[in-house]
Amino acid sequence: MTHENGIDLALMDEVFQKYSQQKGALIPILQNAQDIYGFLPQEALQLIADKMGVSIGKVYGVATFYAQFYLEKRGRHILKLCDGTACHVKGTPLLVTALGDGYHIQPGETTEDGDLTIEIVYCLGSCALAPVTILDDQVMGRMRPEMMVRKVQKHIKDAQKAAGA
């Protein structure tokens, strides 16, 4: 059962099976849905509401409340920049400026080619490594602007090569 915009809702069956017995499982279900689709498509939210017997309003409320749920499609690579107090003092604004210069995007935006999304997050709990960035799942601490831009370029290039090969 593939929805017209390419969302395969059948992928959710396993998730519902896993959490059918658990009280208050809405958040883990949303997390699993996001792992599957990369974001939370409208169709999936409706399905979750129906299956859990709650209103779409409640599901939408929870999905929009938490910072780590996304209702829109994001870039192929995600760069998170920590701007908690310690990282801010150690220079995260310089990193944001460098990305603005290099990729012409601001936090929350995705490059036109869909390669990179950058996000500001508040405190990753690694303040001793300030300023901290996370590129996909790779943590990069004590980051400097030039070094970060180089690493991002290399990461995107490597991924393109791997996909091409």
Partner 1 sequence: MGNELLEKYVLFRHRDVEDIHKIDGYTANDGYTALKKALETMKPEDVTNVVKNAGLRGRGGAGFPAGVKWSFIPKDIFPKYIVVNADESEPGTFKDREIMTYNPHQLIEGIIMCAYAVGAETAYIYGRGEFRTLFLGRLQEAVDEAYAKGFLGKNILGSDFSMDLYLHLGAGAYICGEETALLNSLEGLMGQPRSRPPFPAVEGLYAKPTVINNVETLTNVPPIVANGADWYHQFGTERSPGTKIFSLSGRVNKPGNYELPLGTPIRYLIEECGGGVIDGKAVKGILPAGASSAIVGPEALDVTMDYEAMAAAGTMLGSASFIIMDETVDAVWAAEKNVKFFKHESCGKCSPCREGSFWLTSVYRKLREGRGSKKDVEMLETIINQMEGNCFCLLGEFTVPGVRTSLALFRDEYEALARNGDEMAQPDHNLVLAEQMLNSQSKV
Nearer to partner 1, 62 or 149 (CB): 62
Nearer to partner 1, 9 or 26 (CB): 26
Nearer to partner 1, 106 or 122 (CB): 122
Asked if residue 126 lies in contact with residue 133, where contact means CB atoms within 8 angstroms, the answer is no
Asked if residue 156 lies in contact with residue 77, where contact means CB atoms within 8 angstroms, the answer is yes
Residue 87 CA to residue 158 CA, distance in Å, equals: 28
Query: Least distance in Å: CB of 157 to partner 1?
Result: 25
Asked if residue 26 lies in contact with residue 48, where contact means CB atoms within 8 angstroms, the answer is yes
Note the residues at the interface with partner 1 (CB under 8 A): 23-28, 30-31, 61-62, 65-69, 83-86, 88-90, 121-128, 130, 137
Nearer to partner 1, 8 or 14 (CB): 14
Angle between helices 145-164 and 92-103 (to 10 degrees): 50
Residue 86 CA to residue 146 CA, distance in Å, equals: 20
